[in-house]
């Protein structure tokens, strides 16, 4: 399965194939500054907010995502597996990295 992911902050799109999590696809954008951390839901650097779309999650650190946050779609990208096309907003570390480089690129 291939799903398209839209970063609403910059209107960039990337794809997630098969069992790829949201961060794996984003890394392939090969944009400098995408913080690649533990890729295991423990370090919290890859926080995003899902705006729309269906997804499955694996357990992620409560130090970085509280239960109410998770209910609102605030998740760690490395623990989210899309089941449909997704649109998301970058928050925290990711926001700085994605939007800073966007400004440089444009």
Partner 1 sequence: MAMTGILRPGHVQLRVMDMEEAVTHYCDNMGLIETDRDDHGRVYLKCWDEQDKFSVVLEPSDRAGMDHMAFKVRTEQDLWRFESNVKNFGIDTKRVAAGELNGCGERIRFTAPSGHTFELYAEKEQVGNGLPTLNPAPWPEDIKGMKAIRFDHCLLYGVDHDENIRLFTEALEFELTEQIVDGDVQVAAFLSCSTKAHDIAFIRSEEPGKLHHASFLLGSWEQVLRAADIISMKDIPLDVGPTRHGLTRGMTIYYFDPSGNRNEVFAEDSYRYPDSPVLTWEASNVGQAIFYHSRQLVDSFMGVTS
Name the site residues for partner 1 (rule: CB under 8 A). Answer: 35-43, 45, 58-64
Does 93 help bind ligand FES (rule: CB under 6 A)? no
CA distance 39 to 76: 9
Does 33 help bind ligand FES (rule: CB under 6 A)? no
Does 39 help bind ligand FES (rule: CB under 6 A)? yes
Q: Which is nearer to partner 1, 50 or 65 (CB)?
A: 65
Q: Are strands 2-7 and 47-52 parallel, antiparallel or unpaired?
A: unpaired
Does 92 help bind ligand FES (rule: CB under 6 A)? no
Q: Is 95 exposed, middle or buried (0-12, 13-18, 19+ CB in 10 A)?
A: middle
Residue 63, contacted partner among partner 1, ligand FES, none, CB below 5-8 A by kind: partner 1
Q: Enumerate residues 6+ apart whose C-beta is below 8 A from 81.
A: 16, 19, 20, 21, 22, 55, 56, 57, 58
Q: Which is nearer to ligand FES, 39 or 49 (CB)?
A: 39
Q: Which is nearer to partner 1, 51 or 59 (CB)?
A: 59
């Amino acid at each position: 399965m291939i799903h398209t992911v839209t970063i609403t902050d910059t209107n960039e799109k990337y794809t997630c194939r098969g069992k790829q999590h949201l961060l794996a696809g984003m890394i392939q954008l090969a944009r400098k500054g995408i913080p690649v951390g533990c890729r295991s839901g423990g370090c919290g650097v890859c926080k995003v907010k899902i705006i729309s779309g269906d997804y499955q999650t694996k357990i992620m650190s409560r130090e970085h995502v509280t239960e109410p946050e998770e209910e609102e779609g605030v998740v760690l990208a490395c623990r989210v597996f899309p089941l449909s096309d997704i649109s998301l907003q970058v928050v925290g570390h990711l926001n700085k990295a994605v939007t800073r480089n966007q400004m440089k690129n444009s």
